[in-house]
Structure 1
Amino acid sequence: MTKVNTVLGTIPAEELEIVAVHEHIGYGMPGSELDTRWWKTPERAYEETVPKLRKFREYGGGTMVDATGICNGRDIDYYKSLSRKTGVNIVACTGFVGGDTALPHFSRATVDYLAKVFIHEITVGIGDTGAKAGVIKVGVSRGGRMTELDKRIYRAAARAAVATGAPILTHLAINPEPAVTIFKEEGLPLDRVLFGHADDGLNAPITPHDWIYEQGGRIGFDTFGYDLELPDPPFWGRKRAERMEHFVKLVNKGYADKLLVSADANCSPLGWPGVKGHTINYIFEDMIPDMRAAGIDDATLKLLLEDNPADFLSLHA
């Protein structure tokens, strides 16, 4: 039986139910918690987050992956409390959103050191919380091209993934060639990698979706809901119909077995206001109805929201 690490313990993959594979409990840049303009009490963050996760559970959501990682607001004891209170499984990440979010202690570290950190958090636990990370987060520094630091983090992540069987979730799917080269050099099968944010307005036109699929990688359409139709859309927004048309095109190409979907919502943003009108529950309130209207059947929805995430998140050691 395959297993998945959640903050409340390791569970069978069959118990995940519907999975939101790329979300955030509270994401911010390093140091944002010190900005008094955006500072909030733990009580306020709790009040903002619990109703969203409870609604997610009521809709049928079973699990969310918190894709925050080290240095960006990860708080494991908080996640454990939220999971107990709402009944939602929460999978925590080790790793970094991008090299430029790694504080100096980590940004100056060797590949060997970083790999040991990731392996420890997956196999032993994160700090003294007793909770084990379930996925490794890697990204690309601002500018859209992998820096030397990014490459060190990717190599460390690949070594940790090979050693533990944990999957890798990338923050950006653009410029994937250097990442694929590193993963292959380290002997990591590419179906253990989700190339995320392949669908947003900035990345979609330059993301080599076909090439990623041909290499065996998984493709993340995980910014559903960041629509240009929002009152104040983010710079990475995209027209709702355009995103869905793009997604359906990949499904019709036969890529459904390698597609994963999510909303990349931030339950209680740290150091910035977030995007109003967008929550994790876009998945149920808008995305699934849009998919059904576009002709995606229930069997494919189950593949996208349950079967693919369960296989991806399972520890394959």
Structure 2
Amino acid sequence: MHTPHLIHTVTGPLPAAAVRGPALAHEHLVLDLDRRGDGGAVLDPEVHGPAVTAELAALREEFGLGLVIELTCRGMGRDPRALARISRDAQVAVVAATGWYYEPFHTPELAGAGVGQLAGTLVREIDGGLGSTGVRPGVLGEVGSHGDVPSEPESRALRAAARAAVATGLSVATHAQLGRGGLAQLELLTAEGLAPHRISVGHQDLLDDPAVHKELAASGAYVAFDTVGKESYQSDDVRLRLLLALLEAGYADRVLLSCDISRHGYLEREGGQGYGHLFRSFLPRARAAGVDDALVDLITRRNPLRFLTGASVEEI
């Protein structure tokens, strides 16, 4: 009998087949990246949690939102108990993460630690849960680098994530700052034995370079257009053009989409585009450009489930 592809969510294991609606492949529901002291890059569970929960519940009602891949990792203000509460209250499955973000946010434990030691830390969290919460991560991410080549500490963090992924059967989602360095990330991760189809290279919608996107997709990796709606970084016009180019090149089964809500000012309650921008604004434009319902389902539901589980197109 075929074992169902299981996803580790913040409320326990979930068969991939149980997720009937779309997923958001790269989001933050709880976060603290405040380095300026202005409190902007924060999603405080006590202050902003109710608004986050309400948005997810509304998206479940309106669009059938079934899953959120939440990529807040070590040093980013991760709060597994808050994620479990939001997931239960919104009735939307949430996958928590482990790993290390890019170098400005590295925690002291990275200093002088070898790749094996770091991988051991991640494997312990994956197998034993986050702290005393019992919440198990279902993905490694967002493991980060900046520039065209990862720094030495970023290389160690990426290699450790790859080793932990190979050891535990999870996948790795990266943070490629402003879309740069994705090919270098892919090379580092695969050199540790991680299959490309267990890798999602992040923020590629911020890189206006279709050739890079095609090279990543041709390798078998997922190409994440995951900052949809962040017009201050890139216009959705450019994002749509890049997406259509990748689809036309035959790589629909390699695309992931999300909004990467990473500041409370992006929440609808505060006048921002919200988690629903993908469904309310971007996907209707993609449909108008010829993307049909089957393609939308592939990109927004089947691809994220396949990324998390390692399943093939035929299986999900």
TM-score normalised by the chain length of structure 1:
0.87
- Check the 8 A contact 1:96/1:137 in 2, yes or no: yes
* Aligned equivalent of 1:230: none
* Aligned equivalent of 2:66: 62
Q: Which amino acid aligns with 2:91?
A: G
* Aligned equivalent of 2:159: 155
* Aligned equivalent of 2:77: 73
Counterpart of 1:314 (choices 292, 301, 309) is 309
* Aligned equivalent of 2:140: 136
**Is 2:256 the partner of 1:260?**
yes
CA distance in structure 2 between the aligned counterparts of 1:82 and 1:300, rounded to whole angstroms: 29
- Check the 8 A contact 1:100/1:142 in 2, yes or no: no
* Aligned equivalent of 2:236: 240
What pairs up with 1:92-131 in 2 under 5 angstroms? 92-131=96-135
* Aligned equivalent of 2:314: none
CA displacement, residues 202-223 of structure 1 (integer Å, 9 cap, x when unaligned): x234871121122221100111
- Check the 8 A contact 1:175/1:207 in 2, yes or no: no
- Check the 8 A contact 2:30/2:83 in 1, yes or no: no
* Aligned equivalent of 2:289: 294
Report deviation, 1:107. Answer: 3.7
CA distance in structure 2 between the aligned counterparts of 1:225 and 1:83, rounded to whole angstroms: 23
CA displacement, residues 125-183 of structure 1 (integer Å, 9 cap, x when unaligned): 11111110011014444445310001001111111111111000011152233323322
* Aligned equivalent of 1:86: 90
Cα 1:258–1:101 shift into 2, 3 Å: same
* Aligned equivalent of 1:219: 223
Q: Which amino acid aligns with 1:101?
A: F
**Is 2:300 the partner of 1:305?**
yes
**Is 2:183 the partner of 1:187?**
no
CA distance in structure 2 between the aligned counterparts of 1:42 and 1:126, rounded to whole angstroms: 17
- Check the 8 A contact 2:229/2:235 in 1, yes or no: no
CA displacement, residues 83-142 of structure 1 (integer Å, 9 cap, x when unaligned): 111101110110122132111123432211211121122222111111100110144444
Q: Which amino acid aligns with 1:242?
A: V
Q: Which amino acid aligns with 1:199?
A: D
Q: CA RMSD in A?
A: 2.5
Cα 1:42–1:161 shift into 2, 3 Å: closer
Report deviation, 1:239. Answer: 2.1
Cα 1:162–1:287 shift into 2, 3 Å: same
CA distance in structure 2 between the aligned counterparts of 1:52 and 1:112, rounded to whole angstroms: 40
Cα 1:204–1:244 shift into 2, 3 Å: same
Q: Which amino acid aligns with 1:80?
A: A
Cα 1:41–1:124 shift into 2, 3 Å: closer
SS of residue matched to 2:229: coil
Q: Which amino acid aligns with 1:23?
A: E
What pairs up with 1:156-175 in 2 under 5 angstroms? 156-172=160-176, 173-175=179-181
- More off after superposition, 181-190 vs 89-98: 181-190
SS of residue matched to 2:46: helix
Cα 1:36–1:150 shift into 2, 3 Å: closer
**Is 2:46 the partner of 1:43?**
yes
* Aligned equivalent of 1:196: 202
Cα 1:117–1:259 shift into 2, 3 Å: same
Higher RCO structure (Cα 8 Å, ≥6 apart): 1
SS of residue matched to 1:20: strand
Structure 1 runs not aligned, ≥5 long: 228-233
- Check the 8 A contact 2:23/2:68 in 1, yes or no: yes
TM-score normalised by the chain length of structure 2:
0.87
**Is 2:11 the partner of 1:11?**
no
CA distance in structure 2 between the aligned counterparts of 1:40 and 1:10, rounded to whole angstroms: 26
CA distance in structure 2 between the aligned counterparts of 1:3 and 1:23, rounded to whole angstroms: 20
Q: Which amino acid aligns with 2:156?
A: R
